[in-house]
Structure 1
Amino acid sequence: MYDVADGGRSSPAQPGWACPVMVCKAEPRQGYDALPLLRDQPLEAGERRQLGFVFLAPETAVAAIEKAGRFYLWEGRFIGEATVVANGS
C-alpha cells in the first residue's frame, strides 16, 4: 500500500475491504474485482505485506496477473501495488 503522501489510502483497509486491481497503469486499463485476504489485521498506508487475493473471475484474472507479474490496487486512483510471488490454486 502506498504511503498517504504517495497516493495511498488515508485510512487503513479493513478486513472485508475489496478493490479492483489493474494489470498495468497505462490506458486502456485491464482490471479485476479482488478481495485481499487481510485476515484480522487492517492494511495501513505505507505497509508492505504478503497477502492472498480472491478474484471474482479467477480464470481470467489469475492468468493475466501472473503474466504481468505485478498489479496495482485501484480506488479511484492507484493506491498500492503488488508483485506476484505464488499462485495458491
Structure 2
Amino acid sequence: MKPLHYTASALALGLALMGNAQAVTTIPFWHSMEGELGKEVDSLAQRFNAENPDYKIVPTYKGNYEQNLSAGIAAFRTGNAPAILQ
C-alpha cells in the first residue's frame, strides 16, 4: 500500500508543479485601425494584458482592410494565421 501512496504523492506533486510552469498564451491580433482607433486598440490590449497575466494580446496594424485581409489569407495558407483578424 505504501508504494501506491508514494506514487500518488509524486504524481500530485508533479501536477502541482506543472501548473506553475505554464507559459503565457500569446494571441496575435491583426487589425486595420489606424490613428485614434489604432491607439484605442493598443490601449485596450494593454489593459487586457495587465488584467489577464496568463494571456497576451499582440495587436498589429496590417494596413487598410484589403491589405489586412490579403495578409490574413496569405498567412492562413502558410499555416501562420493570427488568432484574430479584424
TM-score class, shorter = under 0.3
TM-score normalised by length of structure 1? 0.25
Give the structure with the larger helix fraction: 2
TM-score normalised by length of structure 2? 0.26
Q: Which has the larger radius of gyration?
A: 2
